[in-house]
Structure 1
């Protein structure tokens, strides 16, 4: 099973795919071999889904928002604005996917609504993503609106534009060349550990941390359905189990390696690392509400997914939101403030 990724071989998400491949090999005792290829190795990244659908590739790796040109609801399964608006997070997104009907809705969207001959296996969460890299300070929303900015595709990009930001989508491999030519003044990609591998710190000197635009983000492996259906049931279950193990592995790596990388960016490369200004969050949240309402009026399936997420949040948020609030309060009072005062 060849998987072409939408990331280069140096990316952490590529490493996680390689770990997924090793798990499949060991658990299947060599009966299923997985080969992972970097961005553009066989087809251009925007063509991954179509290539898997047609059987040119057995499988591909990207994020559901990469297919938003085929249907806007794809983005809701990876970087939905519902969760930050509802007080939920990346973990509760997985709870909705696996226990709240999200995965069934996604396959309904892919197979019945979009008509693509694939199945999806989610594999690499990378939420809590930074606002990104900038050549100039971004101290408020008005400054942000004057900047030419590379955004993700799908809902996130639409929300930026709704908020008055001059946003354009570029594939990962085109971001740094565009910045060097002055085509863009700021850009986001994934997370610190992924970004430093791309060399963002060599072009930009300001980095703004966690933003609501990709508070949730989940990479997926799309697999040609004909290829999938030919696999014995035990190999199908091995693929699913290896993917679940890789989700946990990615969570652990994200927390540790991103923290280490932020320290490296500050201390070794002299990058100014700052929190995203609160009025940028507020402006994006207001824009997200308008986009969700408009898209829900325009498309019945989009509304169906939004309603499912909102109903799930109404059940889970009162409890999980309190857990998150207590965690933050405890850590701030017991660890963050005492350390800052030393």
Structure 2
């Protein structure tokens, strides 16, 4: 799948393939031309991805070939045991979690899971959890706390499910309870935005000692399309809405709402999935070492202070 701004790069790559095929078919030496074109492609890629608009980063965050939560868990851990159900209503397939070994260390992984085809998307409810999903997540966090195991949450959702049934079962209460309980967890908590981080749906598993964002992800109270539909009564102004929302990883760092950015491969996480999985694994291991060196009471105090300071303006 090619995004609009990637078309010039794709055109040059097509010419490169034609040139390489010509060299094979006719035995003509075109090595200099190939080298020049490869350099041009590399330069264009660097310029393109270094100057992406906020809307273009939103598009990259939604790329259907980006690694999802289970891809990260399977790619960086071993012995993953998925745990199911909230012990009250149901097992929400949009929220997954369980214990796994991360380089010999047992960690509780929790995250939203999307689907890659129509059947999977329906099964996973497009990555939009119901209240039972957030209650399952909290149950797993409490289980990790009981056994003194760190928690890693992987955030990738267009929002909590907004259906009538979800509201009837207490969507707002379930998310609010998670916020309260996550502040007080005695074990290290790391939250990573790996794709879309929309509204309370993301925040419901987003309270941690460290909050990280991959380079081409977004985190905001509302999606650009929904913002556009409210302000302009149309989705046609989503690009302007994205600029106004300031929702990229860099924006979040500038506003001191997240702690660090995990750099993606050139072109986005989908271009080299295992590379970004390995990069995130190294980052998680380093961060866990830092957090586990702190007493639980100090971690909790720092966690509360960090979020309490957000949005505070001193004049």
Same fold (TM over 0.5): no
Q: TM-score, normalised by structure 1?
A: 0.24
Q: Which has the higher helix share?
A: 1
Where relative contact order (Cα < 8 A, 6+ residues apart) is larger, the structure is 1
Q: TM-score, normalised by structure 2?
A: 0.26
